[in-house]
Amino acid sequence: MTDEPLSYEQARDELTEVVRKLEAGGSTLEESLALWERGEALAKICQQQLDGARARLDAARPTED
């Protein structure tokens, strides 16, 4: 695994896979907890990416004075 940050799309796709695995069941408690923790981290990455995009859009909008 590289140290480069995941793009929004990469994090979203991996998060989708984590959710699929959790919903499928069949994992041990330890595996499920690890998946859950990874999902939380991926959701945080996605939210940070979306917040950054929102801030850039807000900054690009003309202000009304």
Count of alpha carbons within 13 angstroms of residue 31, beta-carbon side: 10
Confidence of residue 37 (pLDDT cuts 50, 70, 90): very high
Higher confidence at residue 40 or residue 2? 40
Confidence of residue 65 (pLDDT cuts 50, 70, 90): low
- The pTM for the full model equals 0.81
pLDDT of 64 higher than 90: no
Q: Residue 9 to residues 15, 30, 38, 45: CA-CA distances in angstroms? A: 10, 27, 16, 10
